[in-house]
Amino acid sequence: MKHVIGIDLGTSAVKVLLVNQHGNVVQEVSKPFRLIHEQVGYSEQDPQDWVNQTVAALSDLLANFTGDPDSIEGISFSGQMHGLVLLDENNEVLRNAILWNDTRTTKQCEYIYDVVGEEKLLNITKNPALEGFTLPKILWVKEHEPEIFAKTKAFVLPKDYLRFQLTNELHMEYSDAAGTLLLDVANQEWSTTICDLFDIDMSICPPLVESHAKVGNITSNLASATGLSVNTSVFAGGADNACGAIGSGILEEGKTLCSIGTSGVVLSYEASEDKDFQGQVHYFNHAAPNAFYTMGVTLSAGHSLSWFKDTFAADETFEQLVDNVQSVPIGSNGLLYTPYLVGERTPHADASIRASFIGMDSSHTRDDFVRSVLEGITFSLNESIEIFRQKGKKIDTIISTGGGTKNDDWLQIQADIFNATIVKLKSEQGPGIGAAMLAAYGSGWFSSLKECAEEFLQIDKEFKPIAAHVERYKALYQIYQDVYKHTKSLNERLVNFR
């Protein structure tokens, strides 16, 4: 039996999946990372931690693998987006990586608009200037650490650095490059306009390749350290959301994904780059060939639920926490939650807004609060779905992945608020399985990623919207949308007290 490996380089851990020709996960190994928070708003990691933990995970996987290492034909990657890794002339790391959730670059984002202009930036990059993206981080280093910037000969994103350490080959692929604000998304090339405007030498931008492209083989040193064969091909991989889309079968028009992790994502397939969302949602190159995807983001989706659990039910499991939500009626007995714990991304790019419980009274129980958190998270994700629908997209079926699939009551809430059929897959490995699918496709197992998806992915359950619930939630959703407008100025005034 032939195999491939999907490596999912996340923010808190690396997950390595060994997958056979039928899409079955034969083994899974996960290793954690540490986050470095030197100041408020700073979020960094040591890239060597990624390498060390990935090598450890691969070593564990091969130690328990009874087959021939040569049967592992390919490896590919999914990676956390936007993170900045700076390399010198010897491809040595110059500083800690600045991650996607680092918020130090507000002034640099304002500077980007001053220099480029919002309309021109959207025309080239299809995305607004946000703190999470890579260009603002480069400009921050250029301003605050000029001695490091002067030594910079290349920048890469997290998974690209990890792949370099496995192959000694330096590349970036389009789905991750689209999140840098340096890529001309429509033309799939680095933007000379953006680089020139900020006096960035384009030579620091690595060669661009397709996500399924073979970029090298495992080095002999890596093979010795892990037990892998030097014959194992390495494929470029994709951004975590693009790989999550592949791993959920979002590979043709009309397919939409709702993924609830720490943050929440609503992602929809786009066959071309010509739709105009005025920067309301992200517009990225897909890891599937010649395709794109649009994406809205809720910053504190699963994080809202984990915060509530850690604060009010630390000794309970998530299953215990949500066990009684079916006993609470729609609207949580008049209690409404907005999930802005760390600000918001879609549709409000607002770093100052904060979460609210509205409508509390002494009759409310913990179960009311739990259901209101689930409903609030889902309302926030629905704002992205509404943007897509307003632009003419038909969304009647949504693949749900992540923490939102762990409870059937929450899946029904999604069906009712989204007014769409919610599909739960049998084997849900998200970005890791998407990376494995890129390796399988790159290895020639299938003629297309769609053919691969037909073999690898199967439906477990479907949840249909209930008409009476849909109407009830439509009324509540209007109130939910008003909360942001009425609390925005209050939260801006509270900033100095945080």
- Asked if omega into 431 is within 30° of 0 (cis), the reply is no
What is the Cα–Cα distance from 153 to 28, expressed in whole angstroms?
Answer: 36
pTM of the model as a whole: 0.89
Which 3-state string (H, E, C) describes 74-117?
A: EEEEEECCCCEEEECCCCCECCCEECCCCCCCHHHHHHHHHHHC
Predicted pLDDT of residue 350: 86
Backbone angles phi, psi at 265, to 5 degrees: -130, 135
Domain map of the chain by residue range?
3-241, 248-428+466-498
**Among 176, 8, 186, 167, which Cα is nearest to 85's?**
176
How many angstroms separate the CA atoms of 264 and 389, rounded? 18
The whole-angstrom separation of Cα 284 and Cα 293 is: 6
Q: Which of 188, 386, 415 is nearest to 292 (CA)?
A: 188
For strand 189-190 and strand 183-184, is the pairing parallel, antiparallel, or unpaired?
Answer: antiparallel
**What are the tokens at 457?**
């992915």
Q: Tell me the pLDDT tens digit for each residue of 278-331.
A: 778 888 999 999 899 999 999 999 999 999 999 999 999 999 999 999 999 999
Q: Identify whether 240 is a catalytic site residue.
A: yes
Q: What is the pLDDT of residues 62-80, one digit of tens each?
A: 999 999 999 999 999 999 9
* CATH superfamily of the 248-428+466-498 domain: ATPase, nucleotide binding domain (3.30.420.40)
Task: Please indicate whether the domains covering 3-241 and 248-428+466-498 agree at the CATH topology level.
Answer: yes
pLDDT digits (tens, 9 = 90+) for 115-141: 999 999 999 999 999 888 999 999 999
Please determine, for residue 6, whether its predicted confidence score (pLDDT) is greater than 80: yes
Tracing tokens 């299938």 back to the chain, one arrives at 446
> 8, 49, 102, 240: which one is catalytic?
240
């999946």: which residue's tokens?
17
Q: At what angle do helices 302-312 and 366-390 cross, to 10 degrees?
A: 170
Instruction: Name the 3-class secondary structure at 222.
Output: helix
* Of residues 175, 199, 44, the one with CA closest to residue 111: 199
Cα 338 to Cα 350: distance, rounded to the nearest angstrom:
13
Which amino acid makes up residue 157?
Answer: L
Check if CATH label 3.40.50.2300 holds for domain 3-241. no
Q: Strand pairing partners for 44?
A: 36, 98
- In tens, the pLDDT along 195-216 reads 999 999 999 999 999 999 999 9
Q: What's the first-to-final CA gap in the chain, in angstroms?
A: 57
How much is the pLDDT for 48?
Answer: 97
Residue 392 is predicted with a pLDDT of 87
Q: How far apart are CA 26 and CA 17, in angstroms?
A: 8
Answer yes or no: is pLDDT of 402 > 90: no
Q: Which amino acid is at 480?
A: Y
CB 284 within 8 A of CB 324: no
Predicted pLDDT of residue 273: 76
Q: Are 243 and 434 in contact (CB under 8 A)?
A: yes
pLDDT one-digit tens code per residue, 212-257: 999 999 999 999 999 999 999 999 999 999 999 999 999 988 889 9
* Selection from 225, 211, 227, 240 nearest residue 8 by Cα: 240
- The letter for the amino acid at 7 is I
DSSP string, 34-83: --B-SSTT--EE-HHHHHHHHHHHHHHHHHT--S-GGGEEEEEEEE-SS-
Residue 41: left (phi > 0), alpha (psi -120 to 50), or beta?
Answer: left
> Could you tell me the sign of the dihedral formed by the alpha carbons of 209, 214, 220, 223, in that order?
positive
